Amino acid sequence: MSDAPTGKVWFVGAGPGDPELLTIKGQGLIARADAILFAGSLVSEAAMRWAREGCEIQDSKGMALEAITDWLIARAGKNKTVVRLQTGDPGLYGALIEMVQPLDAKGIDVGVVPGVSSAMASAAAGVESLTLPEVTQTVILTRVAGRTPMPEGESLQALARHRCTLCIFLSMTLLKKVQRELLAAGWHADAPILVVHKASWPDEEKIVHGTIATIREKCQAENINSQAMIIASPTIGARQWPALKKSRLYDKHFTHRFRKAEKKQETTS
């Protein structure tokens, strides 16, 4: 009798919090899973609504990396479909490779299902666009150095010099440092900042608009000290701007593969 693993472990992005923001593929895997290990500190237990009766469900919030990988390996040895349900997208601050390597070493098949990032969910919550024509066309997903250091050249100050959109993860407890590094990079104290706590979580989401100078005080007033996305961008607040540079994509005078441009009418004096 072979001792080879029989199952496949799926790393599924649960999205930012609202279970309805799970992908259809993610929901389908939950529905047919034999065992699910979910990150209970960040993933809503409501996502388990699709799990079938008899599915083994375990919360990993008290587990270290070795315990997580041991659990996945053990379940893959006796089940066809095992799901590791992670917050946001598994490939972004999710320790994906650290968990996959021990599975690879055991010859266990692995799959990944992407999820909606809290960066996108936070922009949606605030009705903000991360890019605008001739304002910025670049988005940087980053964090500030805390217990985990940043690689050389990736300090927030260095990245902020690009003056593009910065989606700053895992940094709410270091908001004072965020302010300091943005100012050191040349941003004005009145530059707009958006902070969203638990983006998309029903009845728990908090949206705070402020400036570099005011955002920390405003977040303190709302008791926001964790699980928040910080977005610094020259696009913040564009909804209220009196004029915008329009995208060429929908410009009737611009030709693309699916639409021929209308000719501009000449004016006579």
Over residues 129-153, mean pLDDT: 94
Of 113, 135, 168, which one is at a domain's C-terminal end?
113
104 and 131 part of one domain: no
Residues 137 and 41 in one domain: no
| pLDDT at position 269 over 60 | no
Of 49, 78, 113, the domain-final residue: 113
| Residues 116-125: tens digit of each pLDDT | 999 999 999 9
What is the rounded average pLDDT of the residues 229-241? 97
Distance CA 269, CA 261 (A): 25
Question: Does 124 lie in the same domain as 83?
Answer: no
Answer yes or no: is 223 within a domain.
yes
The first and second tokens of residue 209, run together, are 């608009």
Is a pLDDT exceeding 60 seen at residue 268?
no
Residues 25 and 101 placed together within one structural domain of the fold: yes
CATH code for position 196? 3.30.950.10
Task: Give the per-residue pLDDT at 146.
Answer: 83
224 and 174 in one domain?
Answer: yes
With respect to residue 197, please indicate whether it lies within any of the assigned structural domains.
yes
The rounded distance, in Å, linking the Cα atoms of 13 and 147 is 25
Model pLDDT, residue 66? 97
pLDDT score at 58: 95
Does 103 map to a domain? yes
pLDDT over 90 at 96, yes or no? yes
CATH number of the domain bearing residue 74: 3.40.1010.10
Whole domain around residue 12: which residue ranges? 8-113
Residue 175 has pLDDT above 80, yes or no: yes
Residues 165 and 152 in one domain: yes
The pLDDT score that the predictor gives to residue 1 is 41
Q: Which of 113, 130, 159 is the last residue of a domain?
A: 113
In this structure, are 125 and 23 located in the same domain?
A: no
Query: Cα–Cα distances in Å, from 102 out to 28, 71, 78, 94, 258?
Result: 25, 11, 17, 15, 48
108 with 124, same domain: the answer is: no
- Residue 269 resides in a domain: no
In percent, the amount of the chain with pLDDT more than 90 equals 80
Please count the structural domains in the chain: 2
Query: Closest Cα to residue 85, out of 120, 108, 115?
Result: 115
Task: Report pLDDT digits (tens) over 35-49.
Answer: 999 988 778 777 888
Q: What is the pLDDT of residues 241-262, one digit of tens each?
A: 998 877 766 666 566 666 676 7
Same domain for 124 and 107: no
For 217-225, which contacts have Cβ atoms below 8 Å and span 24 or more sequence positions? 219/172, 219/175, 219/195, 222/197, 224/172, 224/195, 224/197, 225/172, 225/173
- 211 contacts: CB under 8 Å, gap ≥ 6: 189, 190, 191, 192, 193
Output the average pLDDT for the chain: 92
In a domain, 40, yes or no: yes
Split at pLDDT 50, 70, 90, the class of 147 is confident
Closest to 233 measured CA to CA, from 145, 168, 143: 168
Residue 247 covered by a domain: no
